[in-house]
Structure 1
């Protein structure tokens, strides 16, 4: 979900979530009279735009009798919504708190505000995991009575147990039918809430204690927004994620020419694609009211071509049999139905629009439109034939329901089966009606666009969203598009037509696998990025470290047979390289120190760093089998993927003096602990509830100060360095699994100190307080320490 790079990104930049629903008065409007200087310089947004009202009345998005209610709801602040992480250690407990505490404690405030319920689960979201509040985010922040609820939401969001996300934004991943072994591409992923959902689905459907065989590739064109995406998704603590930074319409296919004996995959393709494209964003008016004053019909027209080419690129990367979601947070049919209609025309029978009306029956949605109009420069057009020649650069034929230039068609006659002639515009099978001379032609699409769905705000007190589910049933067809009259730069609104392919990149001398020319064209476009487009606004990586600039290759690839050389056979500018860690001495020291057996949890081949100098590596990341295979392919094809983040941070170099000289200088990160915990056999300390809570409360305990005196001796027996403290109600070791509460700690000379964030300490203390019996006793309320390992933000 998002808006265009030139307009929408600046809108989001200036409208921060922490900012009140007001807009600063321009300097030119500032009062000159000192007598009125004490008047406020802030004023409420105007929730009115005559052009917006005229446009959507004409388009028939809602019925005339619904219009007043539609506008009334649009002018109200958007209620807050949030989703509980289904893979959270405390998922059931958080849902219980919502159901048994906040539903009741906030009820009086809801009634005072005229609402029947304060919070309630979204009826269409599975397992009561998503919740709707009848308070806006501003009300939750400012209302003193809601302060406890606000602090609860902030804390659980920070530690990854919950995600604050607009309700309609949660819908697309639910229709994608993701399985744990699927390769999933999120083409325009920032800020990352839907990516987080996709990761939840992949992990939730896999067997407990195992990593899924699938992965998610989350891509966004904007470098700074990619950092926001990384921050969001790292709360998931997953080794099955790659974050990339490409223009979606040029996302690389990473294809080898023919199979390789050394690589398990020879092309990067996906079982599922989420194509949530940049859009004008008028479906988010309730959340971002600054759009009211900025909105105009040209915003949607200007993004239409980019949306088409993004969707086509997504389909070219999709495997046959796979599904793709096309979605926007816009109500504009030029960005919605017109784009879906155009990609269906291009793809023919190779792609079908699925009817998913029987899925999520409690979700109120409306069918897609079959007819609409296009507005340009104050005028309305019902058919491309009516568009003046001088405006055909801004209004293109694919924006209309039929997608045809009917004026040119009617001038061309053809023989029918009986030897006669007929008007071609009458052959469109109900795509045109009222084709009377001198009368406007009203086009009605003959495609099944009613299978699309549009969510409008007043049906469920939400924002607006558009969703279409596409199924690729065969390779894309062999065809050539006519050139578009309007030429778009690849850096702006990409041309809606597929251009003739240049000579394809040579990756190897093997025979290339058979694919359609459309896929070849899209692949070529993906491989045609220029070096000067790789300079990023920030010269630091996602962890704030100084990046290594791109080095010139000593042996640049040569051109073979007159064909283009493979692009980007080196590192990307502004990005640290991705390097497999092959230092056996270092890996063996980690395995020995923590007692990890390679056959149960393989480290070789699964550890990567972002620094080619292994002697100064600060962080080591763990990648799943699927991510490992993609990285190997990426190296083989010349590092075409511009990777901003990969894998799960598993180990960090200890910078303290006492840590640098010990047998293992790397500690286990809090993010990586849940994954590696079941396989650690050394440096483990089992503590009862009283000492565990004491450690969390004070952040550090001197050995003589343990409540249980036996722990003092056991702690001194640990080797200096990182250790893992596991909550256990007994002295005997327990088998660690996905239900074990544990934290990373540092065993110093005389004390034990926690190595987790204050937020994680607070969250764990609150959850443990609910489990501790009121009578005390230091047990875990009969749960034998059962929960799952801690995740940190």
Structure 2
């Protein structure tokens, strides 16, 4: 998980809570109902309490809303969150879905309005462009239980699963809109799971391109947790895109890929142009999540003031890393689903403080004018151990290493307190070991205090989650009366509160990078850490041992001297074993000596690295088997205008046993080539569009690879062989019965053409009316499916879910009725692996993920996607 690096207690607790199944551990959870009764029929069941005095006291004191609005604010927080969803404008049936919503469901749901304050049961969100996002006047629970809404609920689930819509909280759709994505942008989603924002970004880049063409844009979606990466991949697979890379890194340590650091002086000019930077960065950081109480009522029970304080430093580190990876002139959106100013305005102010004139906070009040929002705060307080503080100087000495100055409006603290500075650019250095060294040094500093202070801090840490001070020190924590005001224009930030538009709560800030970040901030920060370590050497040796102290000092020093150490150190940390860690220290010393002798040794060492350096993750290999590629091109008659060279990748280094071939866009190809040149710094768990799959057949086929349903829309305009054109009725029968013998087709000529094909995979295209075949073949919006031509029949190779959705779509479009199958007469089945539908192998795509199985992936209700 995240390179095997240990996390702090707060961070580990956060991700643990993030995956907690509330109902599984709830002692009040009702037993399974009998006789069809729900929870209402169980008198022992009680809903979650929607009260927390500490929550109300905290936000009253922070004054995030005027006092006269407090009752409305709390009343709205206690109501269930309405469901919302977004239509995928780049999907094939976009117009059909819009028409169905407007003409069918909108009218049928009018009688089901349950809120006297809502005029419509279903309506478009006025602030979302193109009427693509819709608001329902029903919560997720109402959708599940109301029989009158059953058909609409099934519609939502089915269309969400195939990727035509995405069920997502309304306020969660806001941050990507402020990125102002353009068709050629490279975009980084730093904390991407569960993936609904990533899917939204993919919609944007594909919507900006003509149908059938790949955009020049690229989305890199990253998450620290392997299981959450599984969920992220599951969400984004619905898009069927060749412009996505999914990575598994700690966001604050996201690796930089800068070829200039790995080249000799002779190729330096060319290498300067090759580095991984992004035009847009979405920094939706881990947070306390108290803005989601309407969706997750258990938050009322779990919330305490210490949650935001514990995540503040992590949020700053992630945001600073994102700013370092951002191109000059680029835009970064920082967002949380928290209302806490310590997680919001304080982080933004710290970014502006560290970056100086290199970054500005944008005023986007003219963008999305119909979105109700509140300006950011310029003053707030920090609550620690049950007391309020307005300035850092009033924090007791034993807490100053925990409550940082950056949590306060001014960001200024005592002279003896060092503020971590991690200002970095992608073209300066990597932060992979920088932050780790910072964390280790801070830990050492805390341990180096005198014995009394050390005991005090240990005693204080025991009660961290309760938010109360230890009894022995409560008298020291008198509430501070002094307050500060930030000099930064934090009113340009946006806080969305629930009672403004019947939504959840969210915070958004839009930052613009004006110039490269100041490298001197990095060097000064590292030097100050070195000085602190040296001043405390005696104490450090006593607490940690002299070997560890020496190692920590060397790490900090080498971060500035030689960036190449990160490669081997990061790889060995990912192995997670003690022997690997010991080897890391030895390799670090070896490479350090080589750096002193010259660059030749490190270049040779780098060339010897094998692909697939990340444990449990299959390597990304460019597929260059010319014999196989020529066989595929010849069998399907793929036109030369479709680029294949350099666009095909696989996850298996043994070309003779490759099961799947993926297609990647030119932008992804460039990133992969750069990643290989710099020693595979990116831990890639998923990428590309599955376009070909190996398929065995007992009857034999001239081509060992069949077409994938996912890649068919991209490849269809370029296929000239193994292609059939079916009437609407025969196309419907294929989807309905899945296997049909050649003489049984309504159109006898179609049956003859099917029997004349070569055995193996083929494509069946829906012919609407009397369309010319030539125009259908070049139409990127044509409806087509992958089939298998056997000796006597044609078999559909589409997953049952996709087949059912497609069947209903064409039935609505052509006014065809779907007769029920005769349950007593089983459908004809074709034996052999060559007759299995496409969906039978989809779960195998999880092979590239580390230490995880597809069956272990916990996928919550799609409506919970944030």
TM-score interval, smaller chain: 0.7 to 0.9
- After TM superposition, give the deviation of residue 597 of structure 1 in Å: 2.4
- After TM superposition, give the deviation of residue 178 of structure 1 in Å: 0.8
Residue 723 (structure 2) aligned to one of 676, 684, 694? 684
Distance in structure 2 (CA, Å) of the matches to 1:706 and 1:639: 52
Counterpart in the other structure of 1:11: 17
Counterpart in the other structure of 2:130: 127
Q: Structure 2 matches for 1:332-371, cutoff 5 A?
A: 332-371=340-379
Where 1:151 maps in the other structure, the secondary structure is helix
Q: Structure 2 matches for 1:179-198, cutoff 5 A?
A: 179-198=182-201
Counterpart in the other structure of 1:287: 295
Q: Structure 2 matches for 1:288-307, cutoff 5 A?
A: 288-307=296-315
Aligned residues: 690
Counterpart in the other structure of 2:74: 71
Where 2:629 maps in the other structure, the secondary structure is helix
Counterpart in the other structure of 1:461: 502
Alignment CA distance shift 1:713-1:530 (3 Å): closer
- After TM superposition, give the deviation of residue 186 of structure 1 in Å: 0.4
Q: Is the 8 A contact 1:8 1:281 kept in 2?
A: no
Counterpart in the other structure of 1:419: none
Counterpart in the other structure of 2:95: 92
Q: Is the 8 A contact 2:259 2:271 kept in 1?
A: no
Alignment CA distance shift 1:7-1:43 (3 Å): farther
- After TM superposition, give the deviation of residue 384 of structure 1 in Å: 0.3
Residue 639 (structure 1) aligned to one of 660, 664, 680? 680
Counterpart in the other structure of 2:584: none
Counterpart in the other structure of 1:583: 625
The CA deviation string for residues 73-98 of structure 1, in whole angstroms up to 9 with x for no partner, is 11111111100001011111111111
Q: Is the 8 A contact 2:11 2:311 kept in 1?
A: no
Indicate whether 1:203 and 2:206 are aligned. Answer: yes
The CA deviation string for residues 607-637 of structure 1, in whole angstroms up to 9 with x for no partner, is 1000011111111000001101110111111
- After TM superposition, give the deviation of residue 394 of structure 1 in Å: 1.8
Indicate whether 1:738 and 2:795 are aligned. Answer: no
Distance in structure 2 (CA, Å) of the matches to 1:46 and 1:651: 52
- After TM superposition, give the deviation of residue 766 of structure 1 in Å: 1.5
Where 1:582 maps in the other structure, the secondary structure is coil
Indicate whether 1:152 and 2:191 are aligned. Answer: no
The farther-off stretch of 262-271 and 222-231 is 262-271
Distance in structure 2 (CA, Å) of the matches to 1:175 and 1:269: 19
Residue 619 (structure 1) aligned to one of 641, 657, 660? 660
Can you give the 5+ residue segments of structure 2 that lack an aligned partner in the other structure?
A: 1-8, 31-40, 418-478, 534-539, 541-554, 578-586, 819-837, 843-866
Alignment CA distance shift 1:559-1:147 (3 Å): farther
Alignment CA distance shift 1:746-1:163 (3 Å): same
Indicate whether 1:630 and 2:671 are aligned. Answer: yes
Q: Structure 2 matches for 1:243-254, cutoff 5 A?
A: 243-254=246-257
Counterpart in the other structure of 1:101: 104
> TM-score if structure 2 supplies the norm length?
0.75
Alignment CA distance shift 1:465-1:506 (3 Å): closer
Alignment CA distance shift 1:260-1:654 (3 Å): farther
Counterpart in the other structure of 1:560: 594
Where 2:410 maps in the other structure, the secondary structure is coil
Residue 662 (structure 1) aligned to one of 696, 701, 726? 701
Counterpart in the other structure of 2:217: 214
Residue 707 (structure 1) aligned to one of 728, 746, 750? 746
- After TM superposition, give the deviation of residue 649 of structure 1 in Å: 0.6
Alignment CA distance shift 1:525-1:392 (3 Å): farther
Indicate whether 1:382 and 2:390 are aligned. Answer: yes
- After TM superposition, give the deviation of residue 561 of structure 1 in Å: 2.4
- After TM superposition, give the deviation of residue 118 of structure 1 in Å: 0.9
Indicate whether 1:167 and 2:209 are aligned. Answer: no
Distance in structure 2 (CA, Å) of the matches to 1:358 and 1:124: 12
- After TM superposition, give the deviation of residue 439 of structure 1 in Å: 8.0
- After TM superposition, give the deviation of residue 115 of structure 1 in Å: 3.9
Q: Structure 2 matches for 1:518-597, cutoff 5 A?
A: 529=570, 531-534=572-575, 560-562=594-596, 570-571=611-612, 572-597=614-639
Distance in structure 2 (CA, Å) of the matches to 1:683 and 1:265: 44
Distance in structure 2 (CA, Å) of the matches to 1:619 and 1:769: 33
Residue 806 (structure 2) aligned to one of 748, 764, 767? 764
Distance in structure 1 (CA, Å) of the matches to 2:102 and 2:623: 47
Q: Structure 2 matches for 1:233-272, cutoff 5 A?
A: 233-257=236-260, 266-272=274-280
Q: Is the 8 A contact 1:350 1:473 kept in 2?
A: yes
Can you give the 5+ residue segments of structure 1 that lack an aligned partner in the other structure?
A: 28-37, 410-437, 488-497, 508-523, 537-552, 777-790
The farther-off stretch of 108-117 and 359-368 is 108-117
Please provide the CA RMSD for this pair: 3.0
The CA deviation string for residues 199-224 of structure 1, in whole angstroms up to 9 with x for no partner, is 11111112332111120000000001
- After TM superposition, give the deviation of residue 101 of structure 1 in Å: 1.4
Counterpart in the other structure of 2:712: 673
Distance in structure 1 (CA, Å) of the matches to 2:304 and 2:241: 41
Distance in structure 2 (CA, Å) of the matches to 1:372 and 1:95: 45
Distance in structure 1 (CA, Å) of the matches to 2:694 and 2:197: 32
Distance in structure 2 (CA, Å) of the matches to 1:188 and 1:683: 43
Distance in structure 2 (CA, Å) of the matches to 1:455 and 1:615: 55
Distance in structure 2 (CA, Å) of the matches to 1:595 and 1:765: 28
Q: Is the 8 A contact 2:349 2:409 kept in 1?
A: yes
Counterpart in the other structure of 2:317: 309
Distance in structure 2 (CA, Å) of the matches to 1:672 and 1:731: 24
Alignment CA distance shift 1:586-1:631 (3 Å): same
Q: Is the 8 A contact 1:4 1:280 kept in 2?
A: no
Distance in structure 2 (CA, Å) of the matches to 1:65 and 1:364: 18
Distance in structure 2 (CA, Å) of the matches to 1:119 and 1:501: 59
Where 1:719 maps in the other structure, the secondary structure is coil
Where 2:779 maps in the other structure, the secondary structure is coil
Counterpart in the other structure of 1:502: 559
Where 1:289 maps in the other structure, the secondary structure is coil
Counterpart in the other structure of 2:827: none
Where 2:192 maps in the other structure, the secondary structure is coil
Alignment CA distance shift 1:264-1:305 (3 Å): closer
- After TM superposition, give the deviation of residue 405 of structure 1 in Å: 1.9
Counterpart in the other structure of 1:446: 487
Alignment CA distance shift 1:113-1:140 (3 Å): farther
The CA deviation string for residues 449-471 of structure 1, in whole angstroms up to 9 with x for no partner, is 00000001111111111000000
